[in-house]
A and B are shown apart, each in its own frame.
Chain A
Amino acid sequence: MSRLDEVFAKTRAEGRAALIGYLPAGYPTVAESIELLGAMADGGCDVVEVGLPYSDPVMDGPTIQAASVTALDAGFRVRQVFDVVSELARRQVPAVVMTYWNPVHHYGVAAFAKDLAAAGGLGIVTPDLIPDEAADWLAASRDTGMDRIFLVAPSSTEERLALTTSAASGFVYATAVMGVTGARDAVGVDAADLVRRTRAHTELPIGVGLGVRDGAQAATVAGFADAVIVGSAFVAAAERGGVTAVRELASELAEGVRNPA
């Protein structure tokens, strides 16, 4: 049983969805990003996603793009993601890394998995890596016990849902809408349908991300998914009001996942 399995066993026992929050490492600085990620957990996130800032984030909208630029301009280096994860692990915060694949490919897939495991990380969310291209990551994750969180999308065929869920572990990341990250007024109706279709292929928990920004939306998504994933709204909160705003948003969302619509 992986540590993520334990998290989901706990939230299932409590009869609720898990709350997963995303913020980039190194935003606005490495030290401050640790405090912001810690505040998400303090406010009620069950798992944090530590983003690895990348020069070409094609799946991200303007909010996360801008945060990535800020982090890179401040001199963020890839190896610092392990410092961030390590400090979160010391604080007992379950953390996964979300990263585009080239920085991992360049670091060395096996070495990255090994260093992430050593830092106390639980797995990697891979927005631009599909299982078809992931032979080395499948091997490295098995060797190190890291979870493989692949994405499914409303456009995924049944065949691809079967392939992707069978390669995944920890949880499956369902992208609620066809589009990039960013807070939206409404989370697509596609989301519930995608969760239903995905569930037919796997026992793994299914998290829904892309567009969730407030407690009411979190409650809606918690009504049909096993986890609610929030990113851009946390970045906007961090920008607006730092640690306090991040903790408050996490509390509001945590309330939402405990009162599903």
Chain B
Amino acid sequence: MMGRVDDEREAVTESDMPESDMPKSGKNRHDPDENGRFGPYGGRFMPEALIAALDELSTAYDKARLDPEFTGELDRLLREYAGRPSLLTEAPRFAEHAGGATILLKREDLNHTGSHKINNVLGQALLTKRMGKKRVIAETGAGQHGVASATACALLGLECVVYMGEVDTERQALNVARMRLLGAEVIPVRTGSRTLKDAINEALRDWVANVEDSHYLLGTAAGAHPFPVMVRNLHKVIGEEAHQQTLERLGRLPDAVVACVGGGSNAIGVFHGFLDDPNVRLIGIEPGGKGLDSGEHGATLSEGTPGLLHGALSYLLQDEDGQTIEAYSISAGLDYPGVGPEHSWLKDTGRAEYRAATDAEAMEAFQLLSRTEGIIPAIESAHALAGARTLGQELGPDAVILVNLSGRGDKDVDTAARWFGLVSEENLG
């Protein structure tokens, strides 16, 4: 998806790259070092049993990303199967409630399977086949990544096992049915907080035992190296398209790019289209749950401290003993106590800013977008919309704000119906 504009931008940035980082390696100056570190963050805090698989994955990915056969096939699938490029939609009636700023929505909700997750799963599923593996393990919170994984596996003829916290299987029962329809095995996880974090633990346990024939298709830009850089690169297409589309539409870049951050994959994907444009503010919106003071939230970057979870050093919600604290959010896709390591680095360097939106603010934005634009967003994405409203009021009517609408809200109708009291309780499952 490298358009003309991107090519020019690359030409500028290449001049300040050290020789070893020149594009012949396919890498750029935003890539982690050879140990998978973004500044101090990232790395591989993993059992030795998985290191060989991580090395195999790194090697396979480094070859694939430069192989026209692989990139050509991925581009074709993104275009002909997932529906890329996704649209850029202006939201003028919503914008009236956002300080009158120009609000542009990057419509990842219109991708096949209804979210940005398809970008990553198509890439990793192709890679699974390339590595000669036949089975895919995935975790899911809201079900978006699980559905996307099940979809890609059905398309490519791979066996698919999805771990999902029991709490989430209840919150997102329809997505469980979707995954099973697509031929995946869904395993409810009953340990710990029975949400996304525990689903990842269980997926890792499966991977240790079955690493020979199985690939762990991690759904976010977190975990041990090379997952953060690989997942980010597979989602970079969001930002690259949005960069070009905004220029074509308005003849200028946005003042700010806003995205929700759970693990942080959609945010890192859209941010990467604008990382080298210093005048574009990058703003991640974390789940504020019942408020940051309540202790019931998932605002890892806003409230956490650096620590280790699922293989990487990154900001983390942890107690005074380094035990992971269970995150909370109304959104099943955001209640994760960790975050991708590159976000930690972007926070520390100040290149990106991170704020929080509460359940109530997100649900208000959820309803507002539905009623003003006829678009029902995922509750995850509604956090970004809530952040954009606040930002629009700060920046005023001259501002242009690009919001990554990472997913659609069909899966959340049940939650919304309860929140707003739209149907009587006995009609809800």
Contact = CB atoms under 8 A, between A and B. Distances in A.
A102 B309 contact: yes
Interface in A84-106: 101-106
Contact of B47 (A56, A104, A106, A153): A153
Nearest to A105: B308
B191 interface: yes
Interface in A145-184: 150-157, 160, 164, 175, 177-180
Given A102-B308, A106-B318, A156-B51, A56 B324 contact: yes
Interface string A94-129: 000000011111110000000000000000000111
B49 A175 contact: yes
Interface stretch (B206-214, B244-252, B399-407): B206-214
Contacts of A154: 49
Contacts of A139: none
Contacts of B204: 58
Contacts of B191: 62, 65, 69
B45 A106 contact: no
Given A127-B47, A151-B48, A155-B49, A106 B211 contact: no
A72 B204 CA distance: 22
B264 interface: no
A130 interface: yes
A101 B310 CA distance: 11
A185 interface: no
B20 interface: no
A72 B323 contact: yes
Contact of B35 (A77, A132, A175): A132
B322 A78 contact: yes
Contacts of A2: none
Interface string A47-67: 000000011111101100100
Contact of B212 (A59, A129, A178, A180): A178
B49 A103 contact: no
Contacts of A177: 209
Interface residues of B, number: 36
Nearest to A77: B321
A234 B372 CA distance: 62
Given A55-B192, A132-B35, A156 B48 contact: yes
B48 A150 contact: yes
A14 interface: no
B208 A59 contact: yes
B45 A179 contact: no
A164 B53 CA distance: 17
Contact of A180 (B197, B208, B211, B322): B208
A132 B45 CA distance: 9
A127 B211 CA distance: 17
A127 B311 CA distance: 12
Nearest to A54: B323
Given A58-B205, A157-B52, A178-B211, A102 B322 contact: yes
Interface string A125-141: 00111101100000000
Contacts of A152: 48
B47 A151 contact: yes
Contacts of B55: 157
A65 B194 CA distance: 13
Given A102-B322, A178-B208, 7 more contacts: A62-B191, A77-B321, A101-B45, A102-B318, A127-B47, A155-B211, A179-B205
5 contacts: A104-B322, A105-B313, A128-B45, A128-B308, A160-B52
